[in-house]
Amino acid sequence: MNNAAAPDLSSLDFWARPYEERERSFKWLRDNDPVSWHRPPEPLAPGLENSKGYWAIVRYEHLKELSRNDTVFSSAEGVFLDDFPQLETILSFIVMDDPRHKALRGITQYAFSPRNIRRMEQQIRDMATKIVDEVAPRSEGDLCELVFKQLPGRVFAEVFVGLKDMHRREVLIESAEQLGAWADPTYAHIGPPLAVFQDAARKIMEIAYEEADRCRRQPDDNLMTWIVDANHEGQQMTKEELGAFFTLLVGAANDTSRHAMAHAVINLHRHPEQKALLLEDFEGRIDVAVEELMRWSPPLMHFRRTALTDFDLDGTTIKAGDKVVLWYCSGNRDERVFPDPDRFDLLRSPNRHLSFGNGPHFCMGSSLGRQMVKCILREFNGRMHNLEIGEPTMLLSNFMNGVLSLPGRWTP
Ligand code: HEM
Domain ranges of the chain: 12-387
Confidence of residue 104 (pLDDT cuts 50, 70, 90): very high
Kind plus residue range of the DSSP H or E element containing 64:
helix 60-68
Report percent pLDDT > 70 for the chain.
Answer: 98
Which of 256, 180, 200, 193 minimizes the C-alpha distance to 50?
A: 193
Compute the distance between CA of residue 392 and CA of residue 375 in angstroms, rounded to an integer.
21
Residue 88 scores a pLDDT above 80? no
CA of 363 to the centre of ligand 1 (A): 4
Q: Which protein residue has the closest C-alpha to ligand 1 atom 36?
A: 363
Backbone angles phi, psi at 124, to 5 degrees: -65, -40
Supply the pLDDT for residue 108: 94
pLDDT tens digit sequence for 393-403: 999 999 999 99
CA of 325 to the centre of ligand 1 (A): 17
* Beta carbons within 8 Å of 90's beta carbon, 6+ residues apart: 197, 198, 201, 244, 247, 248
Best of 356, 377, 401 to mutate for ligand 1, by most ligand atoms within 8 A of CB? 356
Do residues 329 and 302 touch, judged by C-beta distance below 8 A? yes
CA of 147 to the centre of ligand 1 (A): 21
* Residue 354 Cα: closest atom of ligand 1: 10
What one-letter code names the amino acid at 202? R
CA of 369 to the centre of ligand 1 (A): 9
Angle between helix 282-296 and 366-383 (nearest 10): 120
Residue 82 scores a pLDDT above 90? no
Confidence of residue 60 (pLDDT cuts 50, 70, 90): very high
Lowest mean pLDDT among 179-183, 274-278, 329-333, 392-396: 179-183
Q: Which protein residue has the closest C-alpha to ligand 1 atom 39?
A: 361
Supply the pLDDT for residue 232: 85
* Beta carbons within 8 Å of 306's beta carbon, 6+ residues apart: 73, 74, 76, 77, 78, 321, 322, 323, 324
CA of 238 to the centre of ligand 1 (A): 22
* Residue 155 Cα: closest atom of ligand 1: 27
| Mean pLDDT across 51-80 | 96
| Mean pLDDT across 388-412 | 95
Q: Which protein residue has the closest C-alpha to ligand 1 atom 21?
A: 363
Report percent pLDDT > 90 for the chain.
Answer: 84
CA 368 to chain centre: 12
Q: Which protein residue has the closest C-alpha to ligand 1 atom 37?
A: 94
Confidence of residue 90 (pLDDT cuts 50, 70, 90): confident
Q: Which protein residue has the closest C-alpha to ligand 1 atom 15?
A: 357
Ligand 1 site residues (CB inside 6 A) read 67, 75, 79, 93-94, 105, 248-249, 252-253, 256-257, 260, 299-300, 303, 355-357, 361, 363-365, 368-369
CATH H superfamily, domain 12-387 = Cytochrome P450 (1.10.630.10)
pLDDT tens digit sequence for 240-296: 999 999 999 998 999 999 999 999 999 999 999 999 999 999 999 999 999 999 999
Confidence of residue 86 (pLDDT cuts 50, 70, 90): low
Cα 313 to Cα 36, 244, 318, 321, 362: the distances in Å are 11, 34, 7, 15, 22
User: What are the helix (H) ranges across 219-281?
Assistant: 223-229, 239-270, 272-280
Supply the pLDDT for residue 180: 84
Supply the pLDDT for residue 343: 98
Residue 131 scores a pLDDT above 80? yes
Range 135-170 burial, b when 16+ CB lie within 10 A, else e = bbeeeeebbbebbbbbbbbbbbbbbbbbbeeeebbe
| Mean pLDDT across 120-129 | 97
> Which of 176-185, 332-341, 390-399 holds the top average pLDDT?
332-341
pTM of the model: 0.96
Best of 256, 293, 306, 377 to mutate for ligand 1, by most ligand atoms within 8 A of CB? 256
Query: How many C-beta atoms surround the C-beta of residue 34 within 10 A?
Result: 18
Supply the pLDDT for residue 164: 83
CA of 248 to the centre of ligand 1 (A): 9
- Secondary structure tally for the chain: helices H, strands E: 16, 12
Residue 140 scores a pLDDT above 60? yes
Instruction: Please state whether beta strands 35-38 and 54-57 pair in parallel, antiparallel, or not at all (unpaired).
Output: antiparallel
Q: Which protein residue has the closest C-alpha to ligand 1 atom 11?
A: 363
| Mean pLDDT across 361-383 | 97
Residue 154 scores a pLDDT above 80? yes
* Residue 108 Cα: closest atom of ligand 1: 35
Cα 260 to Cα 129, 135, 367: the distances in Å are 18, 19, 13
Residue 2 scores a pLDDT above 70? no
Compute the distance between CA of residue 173 and CA of residue 257 in angstroms, rounded to an integer.
14
* Residue 360 Cα: closest atom of ligand 1: 41
Instruction: Please state whether beta strands 323-327 and 54-57 pair in parallel, antiparallel, or not at all (unpaired).
Output: parallel
Q: Which protein residue has the closest C-alpha to ligand 1 atom 27?
A: 253
Residue 225 scores a pLDDT above 90? yes
